[in-house]
Amino acid sequence: MEIGFVGLGKMGMNMVTRLQEKHEHRVVACDRVPDLVAKAESTGATGAASLQELAAKLTRPRTVWVMVPSGAPTEDTVNTLADILEPDDVIVDGGNTRFHDDVRRAAALKSKRIHYVDAGTSGGIWGLQVGYCLMVGGEKDVVNRLAPVFTTLAPKDGWAHVGGHGAGHYVKMVHNGIEYSMMQSYAEGFELMSKSEYRLDLFRIADLWMHGSVIRSWLLELGAMTLKEDPTLEGLTGYIQDSGEGRWMLMDALDKDVPVPTLSTALFTRFRSRQDAPFSEKMLAALRRAFGGHSVRPT
């Protein structure tokens, strides 16, 4: 199958490479950074210096996969492609887009008879080797048309059409919310063990739990790898960023009156990790001093 790829960052480049390594697809790759286009060409892809050139090098009906940062970069890319592509062409958004935006974009593109597919993508930097889990939303016949690409990118049984426009990114949003919660649970357990009087070998325990325990997972396997390389994690700070899906899931849960306390804790812990001596904790210290005369530590 023939496909255009826009965005050659870590995920995009690895996806292009996986498609080329299978020798089943012709990929036209585009990025604003010429060196990245050249790197994609080294995998066997055809390079394009602009979206116009990319479209010109594809045979109709064309499929263009957008893999750029969420928000304005994706919005601008989709809008530009909408003015370049023609009826029956397809735009696939594989980034971390909020599902409401998918619904809006699909409706806008429909007036031009351009199809839109949202593909929630999970796999990170390991996807090149093991494949990407793809949660796909859009029109069923259009999704079926793209099945050869999804099948190549995913491991066996690793992709599914989950519903209409926005469903792919909605499922990916919930997936990432669960991921937040799982990571938080592991982090709390390992912190407690790190302070145990038993001087536990955390790598050994993480590795042990990978063999038959009910909490074994790929995340735990990655944790074991990390602890093997840096048992005390002294090479890291505790600053934790969030990519947005946890916030979106929390807002969706509020709209639907669905309690998600584990996600809430995980998300707010990330917020706290970015604060140095937060005002709230200073306020707590001041109140304890005010009502009980408790000691405080001055700056």
Known catalytic residues?
Answer: 172, 179
Question: What is the DSSP code (8-state) at residue 216?
Answer: -
Q: Provide the total of helices (H) and of strands (E) in the chain, helices listed first.
A: 14, 8
What is the C-alpha to C-alpha distance for residues 58 and 66, in angstroms, rounded to an integer? 15
Q: Quote the strand ranges of 24-150, DSSP E.
A: 26-30, 46-48, 63-66, 90-93, 115-122, 133-137
Q: Is the CB of residue 137 less than 8 Å from the CB of residue 170? A: yes
Q: Is the CB of residue 87 less than 8 Å from the CB of residue 31? A: no
Main-chain dihedrals φ then ψ at residue 273, nearest 5 degrees: -65, -20
The DSSP line for 251-267 is HHHHHTT---HHHHHHH
Q: Is the CB of residue 29 less than 8 Å from the CB of residue 45? A: yes
Helices (H), 124-166: 127-130, 140-145, 147-153
What is the C-alpha to C-alpha distance for residues 115 and 113, in angstroms, rounded to an integer? 6
